[in-house]
């Protein structure tokens, strides 16, 4: 069998494997898209024909716009899947935009993202506002830098200004600034209305701002409306002992949706006229104590661009993002994962790009970090791989896109993490992992980890792996049966068989250690390398399980060792390209 396990390098004398790295260290997140489009795409097969497969919708905003939200990975000890995510309005084409941040707000045209970073405890410069000038780029700009908390960014409808709440030393209240961070001005103080101010939301005509005013002494929250210059604040709900929060102005300027929390066990979504009249229940929230668990300021509603749908969070699989029609019908769970998904924001639809963003080198390289290493790029590696592509002479196969793309699988980082995890499945169960198994496993060893931290993450993964169906299969076996069953499942013989059995018997090895040593053996590494190379094309490029043609690709690699045709087929398939644009 021929094995294509050369390490990533660059043309000429440059040695990118020496960078710290190009391809070393993860800070990941598990991405579990739903491939549900009726659009068919073609993926090149080893035989040169085409296989029909489902593609995800294009990544440019559809007429329904995009939705961003905050995800907390509650199923990983390191919470490696945390971050700000974006998806299409139907829940498809899920991607992570940032691994750090919360309270995300999309600009009206959907091209920029304002968000908050920072962590407690209280003190200086804990929560600051940031801007991502391009939601699929890597540039991050800090907009505020003061002592205090700056939170709840909200774009003006023209995309020129951002409203936010701050408790900075210069005075707590409602602030407005230019979208570049200049002219930060308090337009309304908390003392002027004797309320704490949070959750601003602009009216579509840009003349008014709705916000929540908290009366902490009376334990109630009401919705206020104020002119965009801060004048004439009016309490439009004014309901004693009730929390009315999360205002969202409808696209036609006439209504405001909000969440009404009457008790720790009772939360509902209402709509009302913009003057506070005609309060009408829309849908009931099923989560007990939603506002108590998350904090009332973290509740969020968002209207679709055409005003016919409303996004919100509620209990589904865990905390999920839902959408419902404006009349309360057709309630749909858009995320439906074991993670906690909160704080949705729905953009106004942006025009489709004239070119596919995957054609851009910066986008192309960043997407490979996300798809294969499950993290954002490290600056040295990000710049280096772009330089390889941008300075590659036409026809040079040592530096073209195929070479760079393949290098992510062949990198030490993926081999030591992704392929390490992969081998436990054939060794234990005689099969490859499924996509929905592998992605959460990869998240367990994600992060910019020191060698000691990576080792601890691997040990934690093995312990978790052995508590799954593995236990049902192997726990009843004695030591000899245990070792023989693993070797049989792996499809290998090994000179250390008798040693492992004796070590288990005398207590010098645990079953976890023996399992790892078999998975780490040269025999297993070589046996499944090409299989994993092929399977990762499906996992990385297409974000799905392989079809039957993956066996043909394995045969190609086993016979020729030439991976370029395979990588080219996946990298340029319509299914892959349709993930990002036309």
35 close to 543: Cβ distance less than 8 angstroms: yes
pLDDT, mean of residues 437-450: 88
Task: Provide the CATH number for the domain around residue 336.
Answer: 2.120.10.30
| Distance (Å) of CA 142 to CA 119, 127, 128, 378 | 15, 11, 7, 19
Same domain as 288, residue 162: yes
Kindly state whether residue 1 falls inside one of the protein's structural domains: no
Domain that holds residue 187: 66-346
What are the pLDDT digits (tens) for 303-318? Answer: 998 889 999 998 877 8
Return left, alpha or beta for 215; rule: phi > 0 is left, psi -120 to 50 is alpha, else beta: beta
pLDDT beyond 60 at 265: yes
Kindly state whether residue 145 falls inside one of the protein's structural domains: yes
Nearest alpha-carbon partner for 389 in 418, 367, 417: 367
pLDDT band at 21 (very low <50, low <70, confident <90, very high): very low
Same domain as 319, residue 367: no
343 close to 312: Cβ distance less than 8 angstroms: no
Q: What is the reported pLDDT for 126?
A: 76
Q: What is the reported pLDDT for 449?
A: 87
Dist. CA 398–CA 393, nearest whole Å:
10
Q: What percent of the chain has pLDDT over 70?
A: 84
Same domain as 93, residue 34: no
Domain boundary among 297, 316, 346: 346
What are the pLDDT digits (tens) for 57-70? Answer: 333 334 478 899 99
Kindly state whether residue 436 falls inside one of the protein's structural domains: yes
Q: What is the reported pLDDT for 41?
A: 26
457 close to 477: Cβ distance less than 8 angstroms: no
Domain count, the chain: 2
Domain boundary among 346, 376, 400: 346
pLDDT beyond 90 at 77: no
pLDDT, mean of residues 227-254: 91
pLDDT beyond 80 at 54: no
pLDDT beyond 50 at 33: no
Tokens representing 129 are 């506002």
Kindly state whether residue 179 falls inside one of the protein's structural domains: yes
| DSSP type of residue 357 | G
Mean pLDDT taken over the chain: 83
Tokens representing 310 are 């409303």
pLDDT beyond 50 at 78: yes
3-state SS assignment for residue 202: strand
Kindly state whether residue 509 falls inside one of the protein's structural domains: no
Kindly state whether residue 133 falls inside one of the protein's structural domains: yes
Regarding predicted confidence, which is higher, 43 or 418?
418
pLDDT, mean of residues 400-422: 95
80 close to 89: Cβ distance less than 8 angstroms: no
Same domain as 171, residue 270: yes
Same domain as 286, residue 151: yes
pLDDT beyond 90 at 96: no
Nearest alpha-carbon partner for 424 in 454, 472, 457, 464: 464
Domain boundary among 302, 325, 346: 346
What are the pLDDT digits (tens) for 464-522? Answer: 999 989 999 999 999 999 999 999 999 999 999 999 999 999 999 999 999 999 999 99
Kindly state whether residue 490 falls inside one of the protein's structural domains: no
pLDDT beyond 50 at 395: yes
pLDDT beyond 60 at 292: no
Same domain as 422, residue 563: yes
Q: Model-level pTM?
A: 0.56
Same domain as 369, residue 342: no
Residue whose entry in the numeric block shows the structure tokens 């016919």: 308
Same domain as 366, residue 244: no
Same domain as 32, residue 92: no
Same domain as 447, residue 320: no
Same domain as 82, residue 128: yes
Residue 383 neighbours by CB under 8 Å, 6+ apart: none
pLDDT band at 393 (very low <50, low <70, confident <90, very high): very high
Tokens representing 110 are 């959907």
Same domain as 326, residue 415: no
pLDDT band at 296 (very low <50, low <70, confident <90, very high): low
Q: What is the reported pLDDT for 125?
A: 59
Kindly state whether residue 228 falls inside one of the protein's structural domains: yes
């Amino acid at each position: 069998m021929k094995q294509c396990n050369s390490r990533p390098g660059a043309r000429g004398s440059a040695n990118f494997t020496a960078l710290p790295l190009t391809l070393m260290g993860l800070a990941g997140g598990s991405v579990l898209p739903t491939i549900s489009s009726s659009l068919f795409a073609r993926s090149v097969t080893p035989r040169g024909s085409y296989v029909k497969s489902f593609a995800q919708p294009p990544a440019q905003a559809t007429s329904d716009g995009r939705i961003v939200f905050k995800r907390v990975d509650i199923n990983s000890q390191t919470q490696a899947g945390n971050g700000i995510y974006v998806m299409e309005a139907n829940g498809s084409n899920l991607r992570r935009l940032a691994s750090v941040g919360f309270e995300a707000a999309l600009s009206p045209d959907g091209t920029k993202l304002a968000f908050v970073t920072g962590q407690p405890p209280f003190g200086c410069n804990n929560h600051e506002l940031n801007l991502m000038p391009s939601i699929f780029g890597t540039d991050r700009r800090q907009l505020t830098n003061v002592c205090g908390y700056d939170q709840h960014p909200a774009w003006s409808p023209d995309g020129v200004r951002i409203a936010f709440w701050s408790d900075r030393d210069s005075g707590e209240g409602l602030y407005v600034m230019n979208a570049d961070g200049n002219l930060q001005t308090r337009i309304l103080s908390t003392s002027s209305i004797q309320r704490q101010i949070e959750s601003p939301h602009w009216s579509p005509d840009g003349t008014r701002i709705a916000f929540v005013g908290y009366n902490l002494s009376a334990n109630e929250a009401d919705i206020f409306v104020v002119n965009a210059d801060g004048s004439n604040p009016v309490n439009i709900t004014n309901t004693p002992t009730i929390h009315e929060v999360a205002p969202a102005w409808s696209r036609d300027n006439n209504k405001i949706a909000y969440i009404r929390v009457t008790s720790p066990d009772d939360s509902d979504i209402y709509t009302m006229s913009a003057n506070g009249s005609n309060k009408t229940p829309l849908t009931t929230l099923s989560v007990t104590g939603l506002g108590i668990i998350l904090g009332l300021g973290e509740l969020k509603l968002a209207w679709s661009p055409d005003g016919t749908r409303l996004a919100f969070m509620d209990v589904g699989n865990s905390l999920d993002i839902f959408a419902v029609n404006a009349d309360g019908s057709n309630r749909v769970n858009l995320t439906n994962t074991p993670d906690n998904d909160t704080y949705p924001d729905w953009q106004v639809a942006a025009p489709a790009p004239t070119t596919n963003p995957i054609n851009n080198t910066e986008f192309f390289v960043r997407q490979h970090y996300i798809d294969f290493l499950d993290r954002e790029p490290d600056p040295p590696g990000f710049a280096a791989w772009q330089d390889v592509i941008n300075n590659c002479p036409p026809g040079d196969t040592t530096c073209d896109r195929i070479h760079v793309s393949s290098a992510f699988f062949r990198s030490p980082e993926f081999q030591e993490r992704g392929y390490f995890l992969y081998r436990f499945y054939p060794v234990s169960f005689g099969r490859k992992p499924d996509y929905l198994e592998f992605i959460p496993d990869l998240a367990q060893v994600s992060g910019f980890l020191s060698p000691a931290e990576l080792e601890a993450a691997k040990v934690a993964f093995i312990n978790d792996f052995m508590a799954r169906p593995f236990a049902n299969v192997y726990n009843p076996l004695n030591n000899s049966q245990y070792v023989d069953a693993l070797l049989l499942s792996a499809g290998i013989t090994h000179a250390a068989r008798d040693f492992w059995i004796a070590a288990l018997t005398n207590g010098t090895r645990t079953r976890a250690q023996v399992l790892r040593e078999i998975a780490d053996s040269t025999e297993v590494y070589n046996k499944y390398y090409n299989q994993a190379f092929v399977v990762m094309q499906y996992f990385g490029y297409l974000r799905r399980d392989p079809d039957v043609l993956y066996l043909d690709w394995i045969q190609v690699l086993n016979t020729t060792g030439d991976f370029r045709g395979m990588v080219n087929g996946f990298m340029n398939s319509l299914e892959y390209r349709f993930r990002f644009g036309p």
